[in-house]
Structure 1
């Protein structure tokens, strides 16, 4: 089941179906990736607990995983 307008757009664009709530998860991941403070995101999403925001709504992307060593290196000034 889904929203008919969303299904129509996905089919027209040749994209897989995504539930409306899936956009919330995508937004949360992109917001964190762009540098939004997790407490700001928690507030924006209306969560009581930051762990809900981090464990359910955000994902570590492949780009994030690939940049882990670079982040560490910049922290220790190598």
Structure 2
């Protein structure tokens, strides 16, 4: 899905909604990966969205943040 190049509010809202509610594991993981890329580039995580992520999306976010920006994951 590689949408991390786009961080307009509409894109973030759509990715957040998909990463929290879709029923397809591949779509959930892709949305999570895109959110992680945006958060890494912006240097901050939206913790409100993070807490609502599906397990598949959260797994992708955690892996990417741990590998590329562990400073954004305090306490994890």
**Length-normalised TM-score, structure 1:** 0.33
User: RCO (CA 8 Å, sep 6+): is it higher in 1 or 2?
Assistant: 2
User: Which is higher, the Rg of structure 1 or of structure 2?
Assistant: 1
